[in-house]
Chain A
Amino acid sequence: MSTIEFRKDIFADERDDNLNTIGKPEIRQDILGHVTGRSPYFDDHKFEGLLHLRCVRSIHHHAKIRSINTSAAEKMPGVVRVILPKDVPHNINTLLSLIGFGRDDEALLQDKKVAYLGEAIVAIVAETELQARNACKAVQVDYEVLPHVLDVEEAIKPSAPIVNDQYPNNTFDYHDLYDHQKLRFGDVEKAFSQADHIVEGEYQMSPIEQAPTETCGAIAAPEQNDRYVCYTSTQALFFSLGTTAKLLDMPSSKLHFVGGTVGGGFGGKVDSLHEPLAVLGAHLTGKPVKYTYDRAEEMQVGAPRGAERWRIKDGVMNDGRIIARQFTGFFDSGAYTRLSSYAIVKGTGHLPGPYTIPNVSSNVYCVYTNRTPATAMRGFGITGVDFSIECHMDKVAEAVGMNPIELRLLNAYRDGDMKAHRRIAKNCALIECVQVAAQKAAWLISPQYNAMSSLKDGGGERAQIPPTMIDDVGKIGERKSREIPTEPSSNGSMSTKPPSTIEFKGVSTAMNTVTPDELARPDLAPPTNTSEIAVPRPVPAAQPQAPQRSTTPYQQPVVTPPSQIAPASAPVVPPSAPVPNEPYKPAGDFQRGTKRPGNSPFVSGTRRR
């Protein structure tokens, strides 16, 4: 049986141990099929007269397609059907259109402009795979090669070539307002000015291919009742079904999808590119059609985890408390959106990592480049920035001369703390995990740190949402008229103009103004007695002030923001911030849908009993 170690001594009073299955190793329900070789992967279904589909792919990173000549290919031996872009009934889609997020920006087969190496242009259905390969070589595509851009920061310069016509600024448009996803919590600039150290770092990761052992693919065949059966390797069966129905302009009731046995996915099998083409092939030929990547296509064309570049700037006190953290992130989406826009929203909710930092600011750009489009992979949106955060934590520890494990324990979030995305942290276990990991690695930590607990010292002031500055840097279209600042929230000095009262979700923000006296609260000073480890208290945010607008006038916006948007540069205080100096207490027993402190009406997960 499995060698998993269950540490039931931790949080022992929060768990029933008389459960039959939960908390005990189990044999996988599908493993008998695996060890006998009988698990039915999509390619294990035999069809009489199976045809093979392969694609003609772009040989350039970026090029206009002047013409496509398939006449030689059509005469090649074994060729049954040449599928052109015009044969795709609704040849434009974006994956998340099924949940109404983003504009349709990607064709199944491309006839106007290719934007990455390997983009599909024409599909050929032939009797054998070899015949399909040979016919693909016979297709003549006349390209007009365009300048390409492969680096995220090059791509957001005003002079960069336009990668994706739907997003001419080479960035995804967030909330119809900004060219990046913002997070503002407290006032990082004020906290930086109070910090003993400023620690900055830049971190870059590579794209990572999921490299499933089974390559992506699907087999489709005409079925009785005028339907098409589709056996597929997809990780997202109904997502693939919905995407197929949309691209083929076909009622989903005509589609019979069979999946669930995936030869390794890791996120790389959600893009739903194979099912629509296989079904279209079956529709146009009346025969079963298989479309699958070979290994080379899986590696080059198969969408990877997108590369991320992060700049992190921390304000740190001598005792190791991190009082401010500022992020600038660039997420390489490749040529199309797929899931990268969503990954950034998810990642932003995770900032500033599993630490309680009272002032956090982040600008993250979803950038289009002439690289292979990025997609899902295990925790995408989180893992890249986590890599950066943990590298940065080591750098911070070095800067203040502190044991890096103790630095993490000191700053770790505790139950009841307010996170930067305005949810209360609950069921925290970072402290306990770090303590066990240190013990296993024989890494010495002092007794005070070993005595820390996720259950202690959280909440209270740490549950507060600080008065928060917002700004309007990075409006959609602004970048075409001037360069964006590399540290977007460091936009000059603050004005002393008193805050204007504005309406935010119907709640007046006149309340909760921090007075100068509070800035000098003695409990906020670093502890003088170093033998006593103080769990950090929040550094107060500055008195809300309107940041000065950029000195360069805002010129010729490409997109005009909707008129209902609040006036620029106004401080916003979240409407339901808890009363200061009162520890966080849940209003009652947890219920799904209960409104928690913070702005979001959505709640997931369960709270500790």
Chain B
Amino acid sequence: MSKTPIQFTLNGKPTSVFVNGGANLLEVLRRDVGDMTLKYGCGQGTCGTCTVLIDGEPHLGCLTLAETVEGRQIETVNGMADGPELHPLQKLFMENFAAQCGFCTPGMLMAASSLLNRNPNPSREEVVEAISGNICRCTGYEPIIDAILQAASSLRGRAF
């Protein structure tokens, strides 16, 4: 099978990889690049578990052709922490018990991170809307929503 070389930036680092024609970004990032933080949940764009940010916007890895990310900026949970220092979203997810099995957490954090980047002061409704494409079977969502609202507050405090 012929392979296509593609180059993109993954969590700030230039990355290049040969991909099979038609391969999706989820498989390429997991198997070829080795970033295991995004997960396979449904492979059909319904669960949000493979959410990544492409140029700051949330996208589903399983529905994104790998060739289309040529030259673009990709962010995953691997890029969230600053060295040993966790991102406020990560810290507040921990403190709010916003993960149980943890399988949806990387995708959930990406959706939340995208929201806070474009809207530093979201309402509860806006948080619910932002994570509405991410299915969590364990927590019942309330702790996740609380964690995102607290993280927004914490990030605003940091900015001022």
Contact = CB atoms under 8 A, between A and B. Distances in A.
Q: Is the interface of B mostly helix, strand, loop or mixed?
A: loop
B75 to A, nearest CB: 12
A35 B40 contact: no
B109 interface: yes
Contacts, number: 105
Nearest to B97: A2
Nearest to B42: A295
Interface string B98-109: 011111111001
Contacts of B40: 43, 214-215
What range describes how many residues of B lie at the interface? 35 or more
Nearest to A129: B27
Interface string B107-150: 00100000000000000000000000001111000110010000
B34 A31 contact: no
Interface string A204-234: 0000001111110000000000000000000
A31 B103 contact: no
B93 A35 contact: yes
Interface stretch (A105-113, A262-270, A436-444, A543-551): A262-270
B105 A295 contact: no
Interface stretch (A22-30, A247-255, A586-594): A22-30
B94 interface: yes
A44 B142 CA distance: 28
Nearest to A44: B36
Residue among A32, A34, A215 with most chain B CB within 10 A: A34
Contacts of A35: 77, 86, 89-91, 93-94, 99, 102, 105, 109
A1 B96 contact: yes
Contacts of B41: 213-215, 295
Given A37-B36, A213-B104, A294-B43, A28 B97 contact: yes
B17 interface: no
Nearest to B44: A295
A37 B106 contact: yes
Interface residues of A, number: 34
A529 to B, nearest CB: 46
Contact of B37 (A27, A37, A264): A37
Q: Is the interface of A mostly helix, strand, loop or mixed?
A: loop
A280 B109 CA distance: 38
A585 B40 CA distance: 56
A39 interface: yes
Residue among A2, A36, A214, A295 with most chain B CB within 10 A: A36
Given A37-B78, A213-B39, A28 B99 contact: yes
Residue among B76, B93, B96, B137 with most chain A CB within 10 A: B137
A7 interface: no
B86 to A, nearest CB: 7
Nearest to A40: B36
A262 B37 CA distance: 15
Interface of A: 1-3, 25, 27-28, 30-39, 41, 43-44, 46, 210-215, 261-266, 294-295
Q: Which 5 A-B pairs have the closest CB atoms?
A: A34-B102, A37-B37, A263-B103, A37-B77, A35-B90
